[in-house]
Chain A
C-alpha cells in the first residue's frame, strides 16, 4: 500500500497527523479537508474508520483501519438560533458540551445517549444511540433536520435544512443515522430543539416478577400523565419500573399525588442504569414490542443477565460471558416477536454473529452501499451482512 502521509500532510498540515497502532490518524478541520482526505484514501484503497470520543468503537464487526479520521477538530456548535429552536453542530463536538451550550437558552436536544461527556455527536448519530427520553421526544431520526456528509469519493452533500418542516428531496440524513459510518462521514448535524422542562420527578416501583410491572407500563403508556420516560430494570434481585414526569411544578404535584399510592420517589440516578450495564462482559441491544417487555426481561434474568428496557421497546441487556451460548436462541425468540437482537459487546473469545438475520431488503442496502462507497473504503465489513 502506498504511504499517503505526504498528501495527507499537505491537506491538514503535519501537526494534525499521527500514528495510531498500525494506522495513520488524521484530524481534518472542516468538510473540505474531510473530502480531500477521503478522496486520497479512496484513490489508495485505504480502509477508513471515523473516530470521535471512541466510546463505541467496539460496536459492530471488527475493522482493521489503515486510516483513522479523527473528528476532534470539528467540535464547534456553529449556530444556535434559539428563537427558531434549531442548532447546527459539528460532528466532533461532545454531546455534553453541546447540551451545556444549548442550556444557556433553556433548550436541549431531547435525547439521553450513553457517555454524554465523552461521546460525540457524530458517533452517537452513526450508532443511532438513544435512551429513555425517546418516549417523549423521539429518536435521532425524529430530532435531526439536516446534515452535512462527505462521501467516499469526496462529494460534500447537504441534506435537509434548518427548518423542522421540510419535505424537499429525500431524507438522506435518515440513511446516515445508524449506518455506522459505512456510507459517508458526517461532518455536521442540524437538530430541532426542545425546551428543558421546568420541573421533573422520578418515581419507582419494585416487584419480584416482571409481569405486573409490564402491565403497569402499558397502562402508563395509555394514561394521561406528563410522562417523559419509562423503563423496566431487571436483575437477579427482581424488577423495578421507573417513571419520569416533566411539567409545570403545580401540575406535577397533582400527578404525583395520583401516582404516589403505588410508587416511591426516586432519584434521577436510576436513569444511569443503562450505562452501568455496559460494563458487563456481553451486552446486547434487543428491540421488541412494548407488550413483550416483561416477558423478555424475565427471559434475560433466566439467562443470568440484567436488562434495562425503555417503554419504546428498546432493551439493553448485560450478561456474564457464559450466557453467550444462549444468545442465538434469545435472538430467534426476539425475531419471531417482530424484534431483533444486536450484539453490542462481547469478549474476544466469543464469536457471536453481531447483527442477526438480514432483512429481505438487504440486497437493496448492499446496492446503496455500492453506490455511496464503490471501493468499499468506509468501515468495510463493520455493518449488517458484512457491509
Chain B
C-alpha cells in the first residue's frame, strides 16, 4: 500500500483529477488485453505532460515503487499488468501530435497518441504510418514502442523499431533523456534501438519522432481459396522465390474463416485455407506482380481467386482478417491467442504438428497468420466452465511456442513476452544470453522498478548472480523482495 504522504506527493505531481485510488475505478486498470491475468494496482496516475510524468517517476524512484506505463491496454501478453504494490501510469491525457514535418517525412507525437491518428493526420499529404497492429484504431504509439508492434504490413514495411527515430524517455531513476534523434546514426550506442520493444522495463517514453512513409500509388488485394493450408503455404514461398515482396500475405484456416464470416461478413469463399495477398507500389509494377501472384496461386491449385476491385472491397477483406481474433469468441466461450514465429519454410510441418498436438489434447486450434514472415497466431479454443480445460489450453499454447523455437523460430513475433511468456523466454535463450540482456536492464533500472517481473524468466535483481539462488543484499536488508 502507498502511504498517505506518498499519495499526497503523487497528487501534487498530477493534480487531484490525475490520481485514481478508488477501488472500483482502479478495476479498469487491473488487466490489459490478456484478461486472464489480473492485479489491482495501488494507484493510477494520469499525467498531462512530460514534466508531470517525470515528477511521478521521481516519486517512484525515491520510494522504490514499481510502475508500469499503459496506453490503451490492448497488449496481449500481460505487459501492462500492474504490480499490486505499484502504480499504473496512464497516457490517456498525453495525446498531442507535437509536430508534422512532411518534407522530411517525420512526425513527433506524445506517447498516448492513437496509432491510426498518425496516419489520419498525414494522409492528406499522401503519407501513412506503416506499423499497423490489428488494434490500430485504439492502441497508442507509446504501447507500440514498448512492444515493438508489428502488423500485417510489416512484411514489406518493417516493425515499430524501423519507424522510430528518436525518443524522449523518463528513465526509472527519474532522469529525462533523449535516445536516437530525428536524424539517422546519432553518435553513440543505439539506445533507441534497445528501448523499442523493451516492454516498459527500461523506462517510460513521453514522446517520439516517427518516420512516415509515402502512400503507394496502387494497392491490390487478392483472395485465393485453397484445399489445404500447405498449398497456400507453398504459394507464399513461391511468391517470395519469384522476387516479389508483397505488402502483406495472410493465411486463415477454415475455422478462422467461419469466425470472421460470422462476425463481420467479409464474404470470404468457404475453403480449407484462404490466402490474402496485398501488393502495393507503382501501378505498372503492381499490375505485373499481381499477374504473377495469380499464376502462382493457380499453379498451386487455388480454385478461386478474387481481386478486391474497390477501396471498399479491400477494406472489407481486411476487416475480416483484423477481426479474426475477436471473432474467435463466436466459436468458443474462451480462447488463447498465441504468437509464435517460424522460418517460412517450416510452415507445413509445424502446422501439421500443431494439429496433432491439438487432437491429442482434445482441443480445437484455429489458425490465422502472417504467412509472409512465418508469424503464427494459433487461437486455442476452450471452455473455462469445463474443469481442467483452461489448464490444458494454456499447456497446449505454450507447447506450440516451444515447437516454434525447436524449428528455429521465436516465442513472439509482435505481442511481446510480458507476464505470459516469461518462462518461454528461458526456453528460447540460454542463461548467458539472458544475463547479457540483464546487464542492459540494470544499466537503465538498477532498482528494478520499471515494470518488474516481466519479460525475464524469473525476477532478478541487479547484481544477482545467476545459478543457485542467494538472497540479494537489498532483499536481506528488506529494501526489496521477490514476489
B409 within 8 A of A: yes
A355 within 8 A of B: yes
Q: Give the shortest distance, in Å, between A359 (CB) and chain B (any CB).
A: 6
A85 within 8 A of B: yes
A329 within 8 A of B: no
CB-based contact A165/B414 at 8 Å = yes
Specify which chain B residues have a CB less than 8 angstroms from the CB of A247 in the assembled complex: 282, 285
Q: How far is the CA of A94 from the CA of B191 in the complex (A)?
A: 28
CB-based contact B345/A81 at 8 Å = yes
Q: How far is the CA of A218 from the CA of B101 in the complex (A)?
A: 12
> Per a CB cutoff under 8 Å, which of A194, A356, A360 touches B187?
A356
Known: A139-B185, A165-B159, A165-B413. A158 touches B430 (CB 8 A): yes
Known: A165-B414, A178-B185. A364 touches B194 (CB 8 A): no
CB-based contact A198/B437 at 8 Å = no
CB-based contact A165/B282 at 8 Å = no
CB-based contact B444/A364 at 8 Å = yes
Q: Give the shortest distance, in Å, between A30 (CB) and chain B (any CB).
A: 16
Specify which chain A residues have a CB less than 8 angstroms from the CB of B197 in the assembled complex: 167, 170-171
Q: How far is the CA of A289 from the CA of B12 in the complex (A)?
A: 40
> Per a CB cutoff under 8 Å, which of B179, B409, B414, B436 touches A167?
B414
Q: How far is the CA of A368 from the CA of B154 in the complex (A)?
A: 30
CB 8 Å contact bits of B341-374 with A (1 = contact, 0 = none): 1111100000000000000000000000010011
> Per a CB cutoff under 8 Å, which of B148, B171, B409, B443 touches A368?
B443
Q: Give the shortest distance, in Å, between B76 (CB) and chain A (any CB).
A: 12
- Of A86, A251, A285, A313, the most chain B CB neighbours within 10 A belong to A251
Q: How far is the CA of A3 from the CA of B103 in the complex (A)?
A: 59
Q: How far is the CA of A290 from the CA of B106 in the complex (A)?
A: 11
Q: Give the shortest distance, in Å, between B229 (CB) and chain A (any CB).
A: 17
Known: A166-B410, A168-B411. A218 touches B103 (CB 8 A): yes
A312 within 8 A of B: yes
Q: Which residues of chain B from 164 to 209 have a CB within 8 Å of any chain A CB?
A: 171, 176-179, 181-191, 193-194, 196-198
Q: How far is the CA of A295 from the CA of B458 in the complex (A)?
A: 53
Specify which chain B residues have a CB less than 8 angstroms from the CB of A224 in the assembled complex: 214, 216-217, 282-283
Q: Which residues of chain A from 270 to 286 have a CB within 8 Å of any chain B CB?
A: 285
Q: How far is the CA of A340 from the CA of B176 in the complex (A)?
A: 21
CB 8 Å contact bits of B408-433 with A (1 = contact, 0 = none): 11111111110001000100111011
Chain A residue nearest to B215 (CB atoms) is A224
Q: How far is the CA of A385 from the CA of B281 in the complex (A)?
A: 44
Specify which chain B residues have a CB less than 8 angstroms from the CB of A179 in the assembled complex: 189
CB-based contact B188/A371 at 8 Å = no
CB-based contact A169/B341 at 8 Å = no
Q: How far is the CA of A313 from the CA of B409 in the complex (A)?
A: 35
CB-based contact B237/A288 at 8 Å = no
CB-based contact B288/A248 at 8 Å = yes
Interface residues on chain A, number (Cβ under 8 Å): 85
B161 within 8 A of A: yes
CB-based contact A364/B103 at 8 Å = no
Specify which chain A residues have a CB less than 8 angstroms from the CB of B179 in the assembled complex: 361
CB-based contact A342/B187 at 8 Å = yes
A323 within 8 A of B: no
Specify which chain A residues have a CB less than 8 angstroms from the CB of B103 in the assembled complex: 218, 290-291
Specify which chain A residues have a CB less than 8 angstroms from the CB of B288 in the assembled complex: 248, 250-251
Q: How far is the CA of A338 from the CA of B183 in the complex (A)?
A: 6
Known: A83-B344, A142-B158, A163-B342. A168 touches B240 (CB 8 A): no
CB 8 Å contact bits of A189-215 with B (1 = contact, 0 = none): 000001111100000000000000000
Specify which chain A residues have a CB less than 8 angstroms from the CB of B296 in the assembled complex: none
Specify which chain A residues have a CB less than 8 angstroms from the CB of B345 in the assembled complex: 81, 83-84
Q: How far is the CA of A156 from the CA of B430 in the complex (A)?
A: 10
> Per a CB cutoff under 8 Å, which of B183, B214, B455 touches A288?
B183
A222 within 8 A of B: yes
CB-based contact B435/A81 at 8 Å = no
A141 within 8 A of B: yes
Q: How far is the CA of A332 from the CA of B288 in the complex (A)?
A: 49
Q: How far is the CA of A161 from the CA of B407 in the complex (A)?
A: 11
Q: Which residues of chain B from 226 to 278 have a CB within 8 Å of any chain A CB?
A: 237, 240-241, 243, 245
Q: Give the shortest distance, in Å, between A162 (CB) and chain B (any CB).
A: 5
Known: A139-B184, A167-B412, A338-B183. A155 touches B190 (CB 8 A): no
> Per a CB cutoff under 8 Å, which of B159, B198, B341, B417 touches A163?
B341
CB 8 Å contact bits of A175-186 with B (1 = contact, 0 = none): 101110001000
Specify which chain A residues have a CB less than 8 angstroms from the CB of B176 in the assembled complex: 360
Beyond A84-B374, A85-B240, 14 extra complex contacts between A and B, CB < 8 Å: A83-B237, A84-B345, A161-B408, A162-B343, A167-B413, A168-B412, A169-B417, A169-B428, A169-B437, A172-B194, A172-B436, A175-B194, A194-B245, A371-B440
By a beta-carbon cutoff of 8 Å, the part of chain B in contact with chain A is 101, 103-106, 126, 147-148, 150, 154, 158-159, 161-162, 171, 176-179, 181-191, 193-194, 196-198, 214, 216-217, 237, 240-241, 243, 245, 281-285, 288, 341-345, 370, 373-375, 408-417, 421, 425, 428-430, 432-437, 439-444, 455
Which 9 pairs between the two chains have the least Cβ-Cβ distance?
A: A174-B193, A195-B243, A157-B436, A166-B410, A224-B217, A165-B413, A371-B439, A361-B177, A287-B183
Q: What are 21 pairs between A and B in contact, CB < 8 Å?
A: A83-B240, A84-B345, A138-B162, A141-B162, A141-B193, A155-B435, A163-B409, A167-B416, A169-B429, A172-B436, A178-B185, A221-B214, A222-B126, A223-B214, A224-B214, A226-B281, A247-B285, A289-B106, A338-B182, A360-B176, A365-B188
